[in-house]
Amino acid sequence: MPLLSPKYIFVSGGVLSSLGKGITTASLAMLLQAKGYTVTVVKCENYLNIDSGLINPLEHGDAFLCEDGT
């Protein structure tokens, strides 16, 4: 069976929290996994040369830390 090229789905939105982007992404990932697809969800903070920890959370949404503290 030939290797299939990866496909990408981007879920994006404005700075307004509570729009359901995370729930939508998780639900879509679950549905695709149920159909046998391999799914990896990646959350990206799109701040170039800005430390999001210094920005007011109301301006950019919630900040989070990874297990390694980054």
Do the beta carbons of residue 58 and residue 68 sit within 8 Å?
A: no
- pLDDT of 34 reads 97
Residues of the chain above pLDDT 70, percent? 54
Domain count, the chain: 1
Q: Print the domain residue range for 39.
A: 1-70
- pLDDT of 32 reads 94
Closest CA to 9 of 28, 36, 30: 28
Do the beta carbons of residue 58 and residue 16 sit within 8 Å?
A: no
The reported pTM is: 0.57
pLDDT digits (tens, 9 = 90+) for 30-60: 999 999 999 999 887 666 666 666 766 666 6
Asked if residue 1 has pLDDT above 60, the reply is: no
